[in-house]
Amino acid sequence: MPSSSVDPADLIVVSVDDHVVEPPDMFEGRLPRAYADRAPRVIENDAGQEMWLFEGTEIPNFGLNAVSGRPQEEYGIEPTRFDEIRRGCWDVDARVEDMDAGGVLASLNFPSFPQFCGQIFAGTEDKGLALAVLQAYNDWHVEDWAGAHPGRFIPLALVPYWDPELMAAEVHRVADRGVRAITWSENPEKIGVPSFHSPHWDPFWRACDEREMVICLHIGSSSAVKLPSVEAPFTTMMNLQPTAVMDTAADLLWSRVIREFPHIRFALSEGSIGWIPYLLERADYVYEHHARWTGTDFGGRLPSEVFRDHFLACFIEDAAGLRLLDLIGPDIVCLEVDYPHSDSTWPHTPERLARTLGDLDRGTVDAITHGNALRHFGLDPFAHLPREQCTVGALRARATHVDVGPAEPRRPFVAPERPLTLMDMLSQAAHPLLDDQAEAEGVAPEKESA
């Protein structure tokens, strides 16, 4: 692809996939009196690590989740303390400064310690406590995080997936507060609940349909990692993980959900886009050859056409996908920055993106960099900041005082003797995402009680 003539400083960048490292005081004063003493809290364990503690379980919050600004040599299970990560990971004012420094106008932030769809809360035996904590989380996100800087954040809410009626009620509750995005699972069966196809979820689907809520399905939100073998290098998982969303997209495309709930829309978060043309071409081919005998009906339309009505395609960096944009649909593609995760392009997102835009016209560039995201998620940052002050160049001019790193190494780098594997990572630190996968493979190390 030829280099783009677009000046990175002239872009307006909105990210539909970033992450918040929850601050230790987020639950203070937010729970009913009956549950106040049982709120999640940050502790320091015997190893000097700061962990969330909830109902007797220690939950890690850092590692690869919070490495923006660190040298790549230090990526891994560390950092493990708030004072070892960028303040912008967990402090909203510092986050906005980091957004300015990276040229990012607005951002949607996924949760960290609760996991992508609130598995930590859902696993709580006392469901009254679980609901209270989940709603407190959502209220904090709306009020103290997204609400602290109007126009700079797309608010995102968790749902209590242990009860579809409660899910529906929470959708309506947060929608009344201006939320247009819900985080949910890429494969519910893998978190121990019914599949997408079950009418069990109809109250939730109906609520999202009525409120035109975007349902964000982030890679890893099934509490599983995509890895052909636990002996494979860890980078194999990093390479394959986005392709898990291809399975999700196909599952939902052929399901009853998008036919029975016409306003449902799913964001394929961090799934990238280069695979979409093949999936759609194959879907149309399958429909042509197999629709009659399988009883499949898309109402006189092709699956590829229906896909564009119900899915948002999200990418961090995908030059191949941008070359195939006309086969994907330029109106459904959104950009991601992934701050502060290890895959993030921050603080060089505009420059890296500009190198991949090729000869796309300016209207298309504006659509994928910000227009599609603002339209689908219902955010209007220009009501709070004049458009000319929203460009990469204008935002960075406000943040010349921000040091974007990389930070000085904390210790000398020692290269591993061989490529790290999943088992190597498990032996270094427990993490719910890795533990669940290891248990599924039958190789989980024995866990110590908290």
Predicted confidence at residue 429, as pLDDT, reads: 54
Does the pLDDT value for residue 440 go beyond 60?
no
Per cent of the chain over pLDDT 70 is 93
Calculate ∠ Cα 410-412-414, nearest 5°: 125
**Has residue 78 been placed in a domain?**
yes
**Has residue 76 been placed in a domain?**
yes
Does the pLDDT value for residue 395 go beyond 70?
yes
Sign (positive or negative) of CA dihedral 198, 117, 424, 413: positive
Q: Which pLDDT tens digit goes with each residue over 274-306?
A: 999 999 999 999 999 999 999 999 999 999 999
Q: Tokens 């985080």, residue?
A: 183
**Has residue 2 been placed in a domain?**
no
How many other C-beta atoms can be found within 10 angstroms of the C-beta atom of residue 415? 6
Does the pLDDT value for residue 418 go beyond 80?
yes
Q: Tokens 């999936």, residue?
A: 279
Contact 44, 50 (CB under 8 A): yes
Q: Tokens 């024995």, residue?
A: 446
**Has residue 207 been placed in a domain?**
yes
Predicted confidence at residue 230, as pLDDT, reads: 78
**Has residue 289 been placed in a domain?**
yes
Per cent of the chain over pLDDT 90 is 76
> The domain containing residue 216 runs over which residues?
8-441
Total number of domains constituting the chain: 1
Q: Is 309 helix (H, G, I), strand (E, B) or coil?
A: helix
Predicted confidence at residue 446, as pLDDT, reads: 42
Q: Tokens 């879907």, residue?
A: 283
**Has residue 210 been placed in a domain?**
yes
Contact 145, 92 (CB under 8 A): yes
Q: Tokens 């921050």, residue?
A: 346
Q: Is 306 helix (H, G, I), strand (E, B) or coil?
A: helix
Lookup: tokens for 165 = 């009626």
Backbone angle region of 336, left / alpha / beta, with phi > 0 → left and psi within -120 to 50 → alpha:
beta
User: What's the mean pLDDT when you consider all of the chain?
Assistant: 91
Q: Which pLDDT tens digit goes with each residue over 330-385?
A: 999 999 999 999 899 999 999 999 999 999 999 999 999 999 999 999 999 999 99
- Please report how many Cα atoms fall inside a 13 Å half-sphere around the Cα of residue 106, on the Cβ side: 33
**Has residue 446 been placed in a domain?**
no
Q: The domain spanning residue 96 has which CATH number?
A: 3.20.20.140
**Has residue 132 been placed in a domain?**
yes
Does the pLDDT value for residue 434 go beyond 70?
no
Q: Which pLDDT tens digit goes with each residue over 86-116?
A: 999 999 999 999 999 999 999 999 999 999 9
